[in-house]
Amino acid sequence: GSDRRTIVWDLQEIGAEQTQDEIEDGSPEVLMIHAGHKTSINDIAVNPNINWLVASAEEDNIVQIWKCSSNIPRIGGEPEVDLSILD
């Protein structure tokens, strides 16, 4: 999008209840945000053969290839999210 970010969502967390402290940390369904682009993102593709390998393309045709970590730490020292369960 125009904000130059790609966001990976955990759809299982949509509507999850949060404590007041968790609300301040942001949406529970956001797993990660890739914010490395310089211009608007106009396309994204997920590799069907390599889990969590993503390519995102900017409007000036710059492509970034990136991969989510196999474990994403939660803010505040909470347990990590094992991305393999989301495959």
> Residue 82 falls within a domain, yes or no?
yes
Share of the chain above pLDDT 70, in %: 77
Of residues 2 and 49, which shows the higher confidence score? Answer: 49
The total domain count for the chain is 1
pLDDT tens digits for 24-33?
777 777 777 8
Whether the CB-CB separation of 43 and 57 falls below 8 Å is answered with yes
Average pLDDT rounded to a whole number, residues 12-23 = 79
pLDDT tens digits for 50-59?
888 899 999 9
DSSP state of 25: H
> Residue 1 falls within a domain, yes or no?
no
Entry field: residues in the chain: 87
Report residue 13: phi and psi, to 5°. Answer: -95, -5
Report residue 83: phi and psi, to 5°. Answer: -65, -15
Among candidate residues 35, 31, 46, the one with its CA nearest the CA of residue 85: 31
Tell me the residue range of the domain where 22 lies: 6-86
> Residue 72 falls within a domain, yes or no?
yes
Q: Quick one: how far is CA 55 from the chain centroid? A: 12
Sheet holding 53-58, edge to edge: 41-46, 53-58, 63-67
